[in-house]
């Protein structure tokens, strides 16, 4: 072919790609909220402040007492909920509330959150306000658990209490589960899932914490994005152990157990798991493509052609990287306990977060091949396979999406892969509509405070969370 013909063909192909990318038009939604009556904001804020003041850290000798104190506080703060809903306690501290609807033929909805919080960190002095003060200052409510995730408990309880005050009777049943150990074992949620399985229940929707509305976090998207978690990565701790004769360091062999272990860790870091575009992440980019500049949009719309380039761009940030590969993170190591003693055994733990398409078995095979050292034993410790993926066409997902567009009308919704874990995965098999979404808007600075110092939530976000639940309830006939 002549050069001119090649150029003309290339130009035509580029034109076609541009045109198709340009056709990826944003969906415009116009859905008016229907929930019209809300509880007084100052009462909700006071209640969240009181909730934060109970340090429900699930470790230490007072852990049980704090959880019981929290139960008691709930009873005092929400008298109508405790009068009209049934309450069951599982695993000593996990609460299950049931608000019975008038139509037993409708699948109930389950809303969950957790009572426990992570510890405030090694140096409580680094907090601007003491971590369990629940201080209300500068338009924010400060303290551990304010954002993760007592705001959800309080917003849920506040919503139900408010509906009861106005004499409301739900058509569809509502269950609420407040787990006591989400940040550690998740046994409370496991017990709740078993409890529902024994009852033969299935849910239209299981709603848990998860993604939230973020602004300016996803490069190129010029609108706030509501990230609805439809799946969670898997989790695997692998213990590596190298063994060699110990002895005195004055006469070491050519290699040592610690040296071999170190080599294995370096190999794992050098030979990362491959980049892969999963259905979940592709779905997220497809939803956001219409809101991106034309070049980015073109890469996404034609991702089959541009996949290697796209994956390389996404994996540049650590968050993006975690969405497109199984990640490798060495965390613990130990060998000799004296400087002049050769260790007969050196051990390390590496934490992997499994992307959909990998399983603990396929990942372990790959790890063995990467290390290629028969002196090193590989033991799988705690492991969870990647979660099921929620269908974005399920009625549960659609109800959450609709609610978000009513409460956060300036945002665009997108399905999203959770790179951390939640209690929601325990309810797999009990619902086709498992959605992980925290109903508030966060900036980068606030996201960085999660599990860190100076956790806080804006007073506006506290109101948004209440509006979200009341609108969600209205949308599903609760
Ligand atoms: Zn949480």
How many whole angstroms from 401 Cα to the centroid of ligand 1?
Answer: 21
Is residue 285 located within the same domain as residue 426?
no
**Direct distance between the N- and C-terminal alpha carbons of the chain, in angstroms, rounded to an integer:** 68
How many whole angstroms from 432 Cα to the centroid of ligand 1?
Answer: 22
Check if 116 is active-site: yes
> What is residue 1's predicted lDDT score, i.e. its pLDDT?
47
> What is residue 124's predicted lDDT score, i.e. its pLDDT?
82
How many whole angstroms from 429 Cα to the centroid of ligand 1?
Answer: 22
DSSP state of 427: G
Is residue 376 located within the same domain as residue 450?
no
What are residue 354's phi and psi, to 5 degrees?
Answer: -85, 125
How many whole angstroms from 162 Cα to the centroid of ligand 1?
Answer: 25
Is residue 332 located within the same domain as residue 445?
no
Is residue 249 located within the same domain as residue 290?
yes
DSSP codes, 84-110 = HSEEEEETTTEEEEEE--S-TTSPPEE
Is residue 347 located within the same domain as residue 284?
yes
- How many structural domains compose the chain? 2
Cα separation, 297 vs 22, in Å, equals 8
- Residue holding tokens 């050196």? 346
Q: What is the CATH number of the domain that holds 353?
A: 3.30.70.360
How many whole angstroms from 98 Cα to the centroid of ligand 1?
Answer: 22
Query: Which of 344, 361, 384 marks a domain boundary?
Result: 384
How many whole angstroms from 447 Cα to the centroid of ligand 1?
Answer: 12
H helices of 171-275, in order, are 187-199, 257-270
- Tokens encoding 143: 């303290």
- Identify whether 16 is part of a domain: no
Is residue 310 located within the same domain as residue 437?
no
Sign of the dihedral defined by the CA atoms of residues 58, 62, 65, 71, in that order: negative
* Contact yes or no for 345/241 (Cβ under 8 A): yes
Rounded to the nearest 10 degrees, the angle between the axes of helix 151-165 and helix 459-475 is: 60
Check if 92 is active-site: no
- Identify whether 280 is part of a domain: yes
Is residue 470 located within the same domain as residue 332?
no
How many whole angstroms from 337 Cα to the centroid of ligand 1?
Answer: 37
Query: Which of 384, 418, 439 marks a domain boundary?
Result: 384
- Residue holding tokens 């170190």? 262
- Identify whether 117 is part of a domain: yes
107, 148, 182, 401: the catalytic one is 182
Cα separation, 292 vs 354, in Å, equals 29
How many whole angstroms from 114 Cα to the centroid of ligand 1?
Answer: 7
CA-closest candidate to residue 150, choices 407, 422, 457, 468: 457
Sign of the dihedral defined by the CA atoms of residues 97, 103, 105, 107, in that order: negative
116, 209, 232, 401: the catalytic one is 116
H helices of 271-359, in order, are 279-288, 294-301, 303-314, 318-324
Is residue 345 located within the same domain as residue 446?
no
- Identify whether 20 is part of a domain: no
How many whole angstroms from 73 Cα to the centroid of ligand 1?
Answer: 20
- Identify whether 27 is part of a domain: no
DSSP state of 175: E
How many whole angstroms from 149 Cα to the centroid of ligand 1?
Answer: 5
How many whole angstroms from 112 Cα to the centroid of ligand 1?
Answer: 10
How many whole angstroms from 156 Cα to the centroid of ligand 1?
Answer: 15
Q: What is the CATH number of the domain that holds 202?
A: 3.40.630.10
How many whole angstroms from 150 Cα to the centroid of ligand 1?
Answer: 9
Is residue 212 located within the same domain as residue 336?
no
Cα separation, 195 vs 454, in Å, equals 37
Per residue of the chain (478 residues), what is the pLDDT tens digit? Answer: 456 655 555 555 555 555 566 556 666 666 788 888 999 999 999 999 999 999 999 887 889 999 999 999 999 999 999 999 999 999 999 999 999 999 999 999 999 999 999 999 888 889 999 999 999 999 999 999 999 999 999 999 999 999 999 999 999 999 999 999 998 888 999 999 999 999 999 999 999 999 999 988 887 898 999 999 999 999 999 999 999 987 888 888 899 999 999 999 999 999 999 999 999 999 999 999 999 999 889 889 898 889 899 999 999 999 899 999 999 999 999 999 999 999 999 999 999 999 999 999 999 999 999 999 999 999 999 999 999 999 999 999 999 999 999 999 999 999 999 998 889 999 999 999 999 999 999 988 888 888 889 999 999 999 999 999 999 999 999 9
> What is residue 27's predicted lDDT score, i.e. its pLDDT?
63
Is residue 380 located within the same domain as residue 399?
no
> What is residue 72's predicted lDDT score, i.e. its pLDDT?
98
How many whole angstroms from 405 Cα to the centroid of ligand 1?
Answer: 23
- Identify whether 4 is part of a domain: no
How many whole angstroms from 131 Cα to the centroid of ligand 1?
Answer: 16
Is residue 179 located within the same domain as residue 313?
no
Is residue 90 located within the same domain as residue 188?
yes
DSSP state of 424: G
- Identify whether 274 is part of a domain: yes
- Quote the domain boundaries for residue 255: 232-384
- Identify whether 227 is part of a domain: no
- Tokens encoding 247: 């002895």
Cis geometry, peptide bond prior to residue 149 (ω within 30 degrees of 0)? yes
* Contact yes or no for 203/398 (Cβ under 8 A): no
3-state helix, strand, coil in the chain (%, to 5): 40, 25, 35
Query: Which of 384, 416, 434 marks a domain boundary?
Result: 384
CA-closest candidate to residue 189, choices 175, 201, 178: 178
């Amino acid at each position: 072919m002549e050069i001119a013909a090649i150029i003309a063909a290339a130009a035509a192909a580029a034109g076609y790609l541009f045109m198709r990318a340009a056709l990826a038009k944003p969906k415009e939604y116009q859905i008016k909220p229907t929930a019209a009556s809300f509880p007084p904001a100052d009462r909700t804020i006071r209640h969240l402040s009181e909730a934060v003041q109970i340090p429900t850290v699930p470790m230490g000798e007072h852990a049980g007492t704090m959880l019981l104190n929290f139960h008691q506080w709930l009873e005092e703060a929400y008298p109508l909920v405790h009068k009209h809903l049934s309450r069951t306690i599982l695993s000593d501290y996990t609460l299950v509330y049931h608000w019975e609807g008038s139509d037993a033929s409708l699948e109930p909805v389950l809303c969950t959150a957790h009572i426990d919080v992570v510890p405030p960190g090694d140096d409580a002095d680094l907090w601007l306000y003491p971590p369990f003060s629940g201080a209300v200052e500068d338009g924010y409510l400060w303290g551990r658990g304010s954002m993760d995730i007592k705001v959800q408990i309080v917003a849920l309880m506040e919503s139900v209490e408010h509906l009861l005050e106005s004499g409301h009777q739900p058509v569809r049943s509502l269950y609420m589960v407040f787990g006591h150990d989400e940040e550690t074992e998740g046994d409370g949620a496991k017990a709740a899932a078993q409890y529902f399985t024994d009852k033969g229940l299935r849910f239209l929707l299981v709603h848990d914490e998860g993604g939230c509305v973020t602004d300016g976090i996803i490069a190129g998207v010029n609108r706030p994005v509501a990230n609805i978690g439809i799946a969670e990565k898997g989790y695997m701790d692998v213990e590596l152990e190298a063994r060699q004769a110990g002895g005195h360091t004055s006469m070491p062999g050519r290699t040592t157990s610690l040296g071999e272990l170190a080599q294995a860790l370096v190999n794992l870091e050098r030979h990362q798991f491959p980049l892969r575009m999963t259905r979940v992440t592709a779905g997220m980019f497809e939803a956001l493509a219409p809101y991106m500049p034309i070049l980015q949009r073109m890469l996404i719309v034609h991702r089959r052609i541009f996949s290697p380039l796209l994956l390389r761009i996404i994996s540049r940030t650590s968050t993006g990287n975690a969405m497109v590969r199984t990640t490798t993170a060495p965390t613990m190591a130990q060998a000799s306990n004296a400087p002049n003693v050769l260790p007969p055994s050196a051990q390390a733990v590496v934490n992997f977060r499994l992307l959909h398409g990998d399983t603990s078995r396929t990942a372990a095979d790959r790890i063995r091949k990467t290390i290629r050292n028969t002196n090193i034993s590989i033991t799988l410790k705690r492991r969870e396979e990647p979660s099921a993926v929620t269908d974005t066409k399920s009625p549960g997902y659609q109800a959450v999406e609709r609610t978000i567009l009513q409460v956060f009308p300036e945002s665009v919704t997108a399905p999203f892969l959770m790179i951390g874990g939640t209690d929601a995965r325990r309810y797999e098999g009990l619902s086709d509509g498992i959605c992980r979404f925290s109903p508030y808007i966060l900036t980068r600075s606030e996201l960085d405070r999660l599990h860190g110092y100076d956790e806080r939530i804006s007073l506006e976000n506290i109101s948004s969370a209440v509006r979200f639940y009341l609108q969600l309830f209205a949308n599903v006939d609760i």
